[in-house]
């Protein structure tokens, strides 16, 4: 049996409530997601953050998955370890893979401070030292994990395990401070933005340190085995030594098997650095297609001025299709967040068509698009717009792909389908102008005579495929249509049949109304009779009660009168005796 297209969902957004119920939500929705066409979920960081509300990116303890009382809470923002395990099991039972978000660039929420020597560097050029000489600061770099008490790992973190921090508690000031020491420096094999982008935030982990490398690899293997997850999403890897990313992924794959999946957040909009990252990790790491994301964003902002025929230029999916995870938005690009570049509503469905219905790339649907976004800038869900695309990906988007990217405002492509999946194949047309458009495309002579409909219900026409296997497929202005063979055959419109059908419907409604009025009158009559009988019955009961009450009063009165008469008679008898 042919494997169906797999779709990933990022199962969180930034403003989820800190109610510790998110793992329970995932467990509850697993089957629903599978039915919708979701084959994998990327879940937020499962490790203990620096507070009960932490999203997980301010990671405190890698070995606490919501099990220990630390940072004022046992569960993470999303729930307990047991609830997480239950959610993963529910996903596996439904046939859904689970990818865990891994944060291994930094640590936050240290238990104690330490004093150590640093130099301060320029925030815009991390290679440039701006302090005259090394000086001592007091930094939050000592992690002892008192709540865990050495379970799973007795490794404790000290300043020697980091190469930078951003706060001096002694002077109560911020900056970027590079920690001094033998062999201490920024890692070289990182992104070159700001001269060297090794440092991002909090206490920056030093992957030059052999014990650090050993501990993090040990943890990566432990968590994959403990949770029985299917892959990792690696956070912020442009800030981590690329050689270590390769080593980490290689070690985990050797432990868990070649099917263990890795996707990295490598937030660079140019193709060349992405290509280098893929090659440096021997193709083991997939990358989120950030260049495509920014192309989609530009298209949503520029409208008809954007040339849709060039939307895949310079993207990961066009050049490294086997390593591309395509996406439209995520928790960092949603409104108000660090990388805000949220697509305009009018283009959102078209963008999802460009990721979900192509032969290349592993598409990811954003929770915030599907279920909506909370917080101060709430966004309505787009589930109704995305579901028919998920359906089309699961049932229609198979077989050879032919592109018709030959117009700046109207583009299209066809998927010829496969005999292994009945009624598969589709024709997609996207437009970004105010006039709408159409695209003449060929789906194959074997499809001649088939009647195709718009799976998105944007258009009502029925398109018949010509004898040459071609047809002209229309699309509304600033919209998308997905034409395909429906699950049941459709007939051409018949005006006379439609007129008779409409007349029949009208007559049916009239008859229903007449019957309704008759039944209403009958019911009202029955109800009136019941009321009258009830009143009559109650009246009869009241009369009977009245008679009984009179009898009782008479009896009581007789008793009282007899008593009084006896008293009177007794008095008279005594008087007579005296006389």
Nearest-angstrom CA–CA distance, 282 and 271: 17
- Please tell me whether 206 is known to bind a ligand: yes
Q: How far is CA 332 from CA 98, 106, 189, 297, 436, in A?
A: 20, 18, 24, 14, 33
Contact call for residues 34 and 94 (beta carbons, < 8 A)? yes
Select which of 235, 241, 289, 454 is catalytic. 235
Q: What DSSP string describes 360-423?
A: SS--EEEHHHHH-B-SSS-B---HHHHHHHHHHHHHT--S-EEEE--SSSEEEEEE---TTSTT
- Please tell me whether 192 is known to bind a ligand: no
Nearest-angstrom CA–CA distance, 505 and 354: 41
Nearest-angstrom CA–CA distance, 353 and 387: 11
Select which of 265, 289, 369, 454 is catalytic. 265
Please state whether beta strands 231-234 and 261-264 pair in parallel, antiparallel, or not at all (unpaired). parallel
337 is catalytic: no
Query: Residue 203: which of 325, 300, 67, 111 has the closest Cα?
Result: 111
> Count H helices, E strands: the chain?
11, 25
Nearest-angstrom CA–CA distance, 552 and 258: 98
What 8-state DSSP symbol labels residue 143?
A: B
460 is catalytic: no
Query: Residue 405: which of 475, 490, 311 has the closest Cα?
Result: 311
Nearest-angstrom CA–CA distance, 561 and 569: 12
- Please tell me whether 198 is known to bind a ligand: yes
Query: Residue 105: which of 196, 14, 199, 195 has the closest Cα?
Result: 199
- Please tell me whether 380 is known to bind a ligand: no
What 8-state DSSP symbol labels residue 434?
A: S
* Residues whose CB falls within 8 Å of the CB of residue 263, separated by 6 or more in sequence, listed in order: 42, 99, 231, 232, 233, 234, 285, 286, 287, 288, 325, 362
Query: Residue 451: which of 442, 460, 461, 462 has the closest Cα?
Result: 462
Nearest-angstrom CA–CA distance, 249 and 104: 12
Question: Which residues form the catalytic set?
Answer: 235, 265
Residues forming the annotated binding site for Ca(2+)?
105, 198, 206, 239
Residues forming the annotated binding site?
105, 198, 206, 239
């Amino acid at each position: 049996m042919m494997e169906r297209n797999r779709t990933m969902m990022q199962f969180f957004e930034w403003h989820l409530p800190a109610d510790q119920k998110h793992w329970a939500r995932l467990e509850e929705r697993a089957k629903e997601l599978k039915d919708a066409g979701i084959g994998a979920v990327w879940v937020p960081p499962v490790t203990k953050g620096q507070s009960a509300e932490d999203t997980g990116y301010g990671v405190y303890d890698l070995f606490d998955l919501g099990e220990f009382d630390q940072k004022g809470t046992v569960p993470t923002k999303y729930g307990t370890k047991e609830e997480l395990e239950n959610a993963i099991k529910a996903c596996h039972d439904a046939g859904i893979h689970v990818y865990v978000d891994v944060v291994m660039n930094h640590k936050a929420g240290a238990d104690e401070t330490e004093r150590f020597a640093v130099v301060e560097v320029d925030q815009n050029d991390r290679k440039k030292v701006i302090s005259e000489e090394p000086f001592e600061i007091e930094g939050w770099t000592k992690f002892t994990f008192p709540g865990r008490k050495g379970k799973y790992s007795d490794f404790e973190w000290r300043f020697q395990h980091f190469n930078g921090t951003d706060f001096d508690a002694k002077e109560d000031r911020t900056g970027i401070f590079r920690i001094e020491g033998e062999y201490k420096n920024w890692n070289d094999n990182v992104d070159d933005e700001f001269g060297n982008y090794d440092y991002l935030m909090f206490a920056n982990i030093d992957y030059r340190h052999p014990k650090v490398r050993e501990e993090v690899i040990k943890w990566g293997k432990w968590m994959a085995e403990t949770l029985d997850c299917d892959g990792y999403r690696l956070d912020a890897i442009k800030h981590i030594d690329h050689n270590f990313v390769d080593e980490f992924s290689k070690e985990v794959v050797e432990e868990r098997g070649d099917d263990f999946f890795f996707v990295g957040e490598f937030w660079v909009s140019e193709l060349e650095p992405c290509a280098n990252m893929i090659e440096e990790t021997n193709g083991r790491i997939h990358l989120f297609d950030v260049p495509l994301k920014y192309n989609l964003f530009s298209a949503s902002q520029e409208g008809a001025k954007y040339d849709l025929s060039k939307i895949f230029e310079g993207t990961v999916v066009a050049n490294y299709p086997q390593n591309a995870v395509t996406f439209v938005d995520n928790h960092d690009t949603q409104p108000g967040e660090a990388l805000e570049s949220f697509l305009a509503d009018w283009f959102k469905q078209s963008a999802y068509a460009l990721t979900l219905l192509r032969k290349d790339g592993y598409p990811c649907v954003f929770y915030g698009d599907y279920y909506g976004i909370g917080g101060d800038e709430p966004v309505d869900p787009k589930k109704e717009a995305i579901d028919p695309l998920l359906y089309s990906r699961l049932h229609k988007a198979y077989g050879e792909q032919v592109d018709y990217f030959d117009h700046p405002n109207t583009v299209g492509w066809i998927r010829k389908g496969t005999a292994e999946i009945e009624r598969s194949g589709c024709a997609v047309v996207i437009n970004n102008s105010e006039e709408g458009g159409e695209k003449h495309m060929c789906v194959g002579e074997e499809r001649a005579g088939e009647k195709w409909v718009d799976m998105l219900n944007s258009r009502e026409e029925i398109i018949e495929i010509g004898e040459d296997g071609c047809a002209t497929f229309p699309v509304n202005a600033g919209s998308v249509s997905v034409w395909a063979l429906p699950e049941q055959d459709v007939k051409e419109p018949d005006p006379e049949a439609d007129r008779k059908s409409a007349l029949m419907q009208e007559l049916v409604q009239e008859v229903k109304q007449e019957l309704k009025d008759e039944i209403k009158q009958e019911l009202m009559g029955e109800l009136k009779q019941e009321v009258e009988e009830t009143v009559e019955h109650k009246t009869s009961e009241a009369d009977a009660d009245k008679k009984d009450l009179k009898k009782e009063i008479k009896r009581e009165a007789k008793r009282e009168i007899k008593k009084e008469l006896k008293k009177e008679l007794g008095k008279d008898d005594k008087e007579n005796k005296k006389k």
